Amino acid sequence: MPQWPIVDDVSLDDVALDSKNVRLGIDGLDEAGIASYLAEAEELLDLVRELLRDGYIDNEIPIVVEENGKYVVLEANRRIAALKAIHDPALVGRFSTQVERHLSRYSDADTPRNIRVMVAPSREAAQPVLARLHTGKPKRSWVREQQAVFYHAQLSKTVSVDDLRTRYPRETGKIVSFIRMGEMRQLIRGLRYDDPELEEFVTSGRLAMSSLEYAYDRPRIRSVLGIDFDDQGKLASRKLTDGQRRGVMHLLARFKAGTLNTRSNELKQSSPQHDSFVEELERVVSGTTAGGSRSNGSGGPSGPSGSATGGTGGAASGSTGSGAPPVGSGTGGGSGSGAGSTGSSTGSRGPNRGDTRTQLDFTGFTYQGSGLAGLRRRFEELSRINVRDFPNAAHDLIRTVLECSIKDFFDVQGRQLQGRTTLGGSVDALAREFQTDQSMTTLINNINRSGRMPTSQYSGTADSLNATNHNPAAFASHTDVHEAWDRIKPILVKIVG
């Protein structure tokens, strides 16, 4: 970034939105017109809510240029427009009511009236910087393990997981999975290693925690290894028996040898290879190998260079954690992993059909609604529930999440639905709200369908959701759950995601 002068304590009244902003599709707009356009087309109201909820951080200082006695914003027009709208909702015209509702919800928010700006010598001088910011990738995102370290390190006697959820509302759906990863990272780095090469593999960072997550997210593997998380993501105990330590070492050695990775059938819960792998771990923990002989004592598998004797079970060595669990999954081990999908016995990646997964696909969805703890926790439960073991419970929870999300959507806008509004009434209200939005109308019509139809089309309709909730004879299958979620998830992404 050029070393241009930074001016502190500049009033928002002295900062003007840029009528030449490339985001604008209309020429000659005044400031109110620009703000209204950004509210209409550039999700300005979402940014207003984020600033009120999370606060204004000026680590990325707006870039301005002096023109006609004003600081004209070249970079950060949306942020400045959002700040202006917070202090003067009338600036966004017909959207002012929604801004006022956000102000009412976050009445204790403290957004600045004066800000710092960086003054560019001219528009021309600023162009390369703007191009770099908007057409390149100036920041490298933290990988999943780095995020886990960041959040886990903040836990203390005075900072709880719920405190982190409050402090980082955008990440509420992922905090628990990050804490689990942080706990596991701390556990395996604190173990006694008999194999120096394995210890170096773990402590040097060569072991991708996002890959190991696929293993410790499997309940049967956790059970064999004595690993138990509470609902906050913390380990119930860090003490392992000698046998459990051997089992953990065996698991880590398989990852080191490249014979276990995120695509291995041994980590897919519906695969026969998963059963065999769990039995393999049980033998290691008990102190006997597959042939009945004692473990080699190193905690690693038998064979040269730590290679496993149990078969490859997966894709080629060197596979990374690119199949990491989806954003928004409550446990981080959700259906994006392909858990439960079938595959060939040779370990090649089989078809990844949604209805083979044990958990719902939360890829691309993170709850961004009002932030109410009750709804947030419902989404977390839904992302973690095993739909094969508890299909009807999952189906009922989808129904609850849909109805509550619709009500949350209207609550944010200050147009609360009546407290006794049912699922059908909520869906009808949503249909009226989006009657001019063709894509949403199609999605909502799919839910409102009734009468005779194929089973695959019946799943996810209001009738089917109500049936498993009210009819003692009705019971959803795991396929019904996946099909219902596929039908409802796009609506949730639109209204609270």
pLDDT the model gives residue 461: 86
**Is 73 part of any domain?**
yes
Of 44-53, 101-110, 215-224, 307-316, the one with minimum mean pLDDT is: 307-316
Range from 1-15, 156-170, 209-223, 337-351 that averages highest in pLDDT: 209-223
Give the separation between CA 181 and CA 372, rounded to whole angstroms.
Answer: 25
pLDDT (mean) for 210-232: 93
Which residue has better confidence, 435 or 171?
A: 435
Q: Which domain holds residue 444?
A: 373-496
Are 414 and 460 within one domain?
Answer: yes
Are 126 and 156 within one domain?
Answer: no
Tell me the percentage of the chain whose pLDDT exceeds 70. 80
Residue 140 dihedral angles phi and psi, to the nearest 5°? -100, 120
pLDDT the model gives residue 142: 65
Q: Which of 135, 157, 184 is the last residue of a domain?
A: 135
**Is 357 part of any domain?**
no
Token code pair at residue 399: 């129904």
Average pLDDT, the chain: 80
Model confidence at 455: pLDDT above 80: no
- pLDDT tens digit string along 474-488? 888 888 888 888 889
pLDDT (mean) for 36-46: 85
**Is 19 part of any domain?**
yes
Of 26-35, 186-195, 479-488, the one with minimum mean pLDDT is: 26-35
Give the separation between CA 188 and CA 245, rounded to whole angstroms.
Answer: 9
**Is 400 part of any domain?**
yes
Contact (Cβ atoms closer than 8 angstroms) between residue 217 and residue 331: yes
Are 418 and 340 within one domain?
Answer: no
pLDDT the model gives residue 177: 92
Residue whose structure tokens are 């040269």: 304
pLDDT the model gives residue 340: 34
Residue whose structure tokens are 């913390």: 234
pLDDT (mean) for 284-311: 47
Give the separation between CA 445 and CA 430, rounded to whole angstroms.
Answer: 11
Are 470 and 434 within one domain?
Answer: yes
Which residue has better confidence, 341 or 227?
A: 227
pLDDT (mean) for 171-184: 89
**Is 362 part of any domain?**
no
Model confidence at 337: pLDDT above 70: no
**Is 455 part of any domain?**
yes
- Answering whether pTM is above 0.75, one says no
Tell me the percentage of the chain whose pLDDT exceeds 90. 34
- The angle subtended at Cα 287 by Cα 281 and Cα 290, nearest 5°, is 60
Model confidence at 315: pLDDT above 70: no
pLDDT (mean) for 88-94: 92
pLDDT (mean) for 228-239: 90
Burial class (CB in 10 A: 0-12, 13-18, 19+), 419: exposed
pLDDT (mean) for 221-225: 94
pLDDT the model gives residue 483: 86
pLDDT the model gives residue 368: 81
pLDDT (mean) for 274-281: 93
- Three-class SS of the chain: CCCCCEEEEEEHHHEECCCCCCCCCCCCCCHHHHHHHHHHHCCHHHHHHHHHHHCCCCCCCCEEEEECCEEEEEECHHHHHHHHHHHCHHHHHHHHHHHHHHHHHCCCCCCCCEEEEEECCCHHHHHHHHHHHHHCCCCCCCCHHHHHHHHHCCCCCCCCHHHHHHHCHHHCCCHHHHHHHHHHHHHHHCCCCCCHHHHHHHHCCCCCHHHHHHHHCCHHHHHHHCCCECCCCCECCCCCCHHHHHHHHHHHHHHHHCCCCCCCHHHCCCCHHHHHHHHHHHHHHHCECCCCCECCCCCCCCCHHHCCCCCCCCCCCCCCCCCCCCCCCCCCCCHHHCCCCCCCCCCCCCCCCHHHCCCCCCCCCCCCCCCCHHHHHHHHHHHHCCCCCCHHHHHHHHHHHHHHHHHHHHHHCCCCCCCCCCHHHHHHHHHHHCCCCHHHHHHHHHHHCCCCCCHHHHCCCHHHHHHHHHCCCCCCCHHHHHHHHHHHHHHHHHHHC
**Is 159 part of any domain?**
yes
Give 3's pLDDT tier (boundaries 50, 70, 90).
Answer: confident
- pLDDT tens digit string along 56-86? 988 789 999 999 899 999 999 999 999 999 9
Contact (Cβ atoms closer than 8 angstroms) between residue 455 and residue 467: no
Token code pair at residue 9: 């304590």
Are 89 and 155 within one domain?
Answer: no
Are 154 and 302 within one domain?
Answer: yes
Are 328 and 378 within one domain?
Answer: no
pLDDT the model gives residue 149: 84
Give the separation between CA 395 and CA 401, rounded to whole angstroms.
Answer: 10
Q: Which of 106, 135, 164 is the last residue of a domain?
A: 135
pLDDT the model gives residue 27: 63
pLDDT the model gives residue 452: 62
Token code pair at residue 31: 């400031």
Model confidence at 213: pLDDT above 90: yes
Model confidence at 115: pLDDT above 90: yes
- pLDDT tens digit string along 373-393? 888 889 989 999 998 889 899
**Is 355 part of any domain?**
no
Model confidence at 124: pLDDT above 50: yes
pLDDT the model gives residue 163: 87
Domain count, the chain: 3
Burial class (CB in 10 A: 0-12, 13-18, 19+), 255: buried
Are 152 and 127 within one domain?
Answer: no
Model confidence at 88: pLDDT above 80: yes
Which residue has better confidence, 174 or 252?
A: 252
Are 125 and 265 within one domain?
Answer: no
pLDDT the model gives residue 336: 34
Are 186 and 310 within one domain?
Answer: yes
Are 192 and 334 within one domain?
Answer: yes
Which residue has better confidence, 468 or 418?
A: 468
Q: Which of 331, 348, 365 is the last residue of a domain?
A: 348
pLDDT the model gives residue 442: 84
Are 130 and 148 within one domain?
Answer: no
Burial class (CB in 10 A: 0-12, 13-18, 19+), 266: buried
